[in-house]
């Protein structure tokens, strides 16, 4: 799979006092998942008003509540002056450019990008729920989140999801 391309400008570093730290979960299990996740990380780093702060290691995981091939997962920490809705718009543009389709819930996917946390905001709309509603139930999120923000993940949270079939790549 080639690099994911979306119509995104390369930003200057985000230093605005209005900027927040946000965390994005990445996953893929179709095509070349490792390449898709790496390309998505690069695309996220090129979103206007977004600065990449940290990237987790890549992790493999068995599908949870779904069938299909194993996933490649990661989490990135970004600093952004975008609203959460505008960040989601940019992430969905990256997904579409990677060939993402949504035929049914938990379908295999070329790329899945989820806003996990957005500053300390709590958001509940028809389109978006932040913090991501199931993030603390999934080792494939908790483990890479611990890579980029160990202060956010307690040992109890790690232990609660341990053994779900997640391994370092």
What are the structural domain ranges in the chain?
A: 20-164
Cα angle for residues 167, 35, 113 (degrees, 5° grid): 75
Cα(138)–Cα(52) distance, integer angstroms: 23
How many Å apart are CA 117 and CA 96, to the nearest integer? 22
Percentage of residues in the chain having pLDDT higher than 90: 77
Kindly list the catalytic residues: 100, 109, 112, 114
pLDDT in tens, 66-120: 778 999 999 999 999 999 999 999 999 999 999 876 666 666 788 999 999 999 9
Q: State pLDDT tens for residues 22-42.
A: 999 999 999 999 999 999 999
15 or 159, higher pLDDT? 159
Fold entry, domain 20-164:
Alpha-Beta Plaits (3.30.70)
């Amino acid at each position: 799979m080639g690099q994911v391309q979306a119509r995104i400008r390369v930003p200057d570093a985000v230093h605005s006092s209005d900027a927040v730290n946000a965390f994005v979960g990445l996953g893929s299990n179709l095509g070349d998942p490792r390449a898709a996740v790496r390309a998505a990380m690069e695309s996220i780093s090129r979103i206007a008003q977004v600065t990449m702060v940290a990237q987790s290691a890549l992790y493999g995981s068995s599908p949870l509540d779904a069938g299909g091939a194993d996933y490649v997962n990661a989490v990135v920490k970004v600093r952004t002056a975008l609203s959460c809705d505008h960040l989601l718009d940019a992430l969905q543009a990256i997904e579409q450019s990677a060939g993402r389709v949504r035929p049914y819930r938990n379908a295999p996917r070329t790329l899945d990008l989820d806003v996990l946390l957005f500053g300390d905001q709590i958001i509940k709309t028809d389109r978006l729920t932040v913090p991501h509603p199931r993030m603390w139930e999934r080792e494939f999120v908790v483990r890479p989140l611990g890579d980029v923000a160990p202060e956010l993940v307690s040992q109890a949270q790690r232990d609660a999801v341990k053994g779900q079939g997640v391994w370092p790549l």
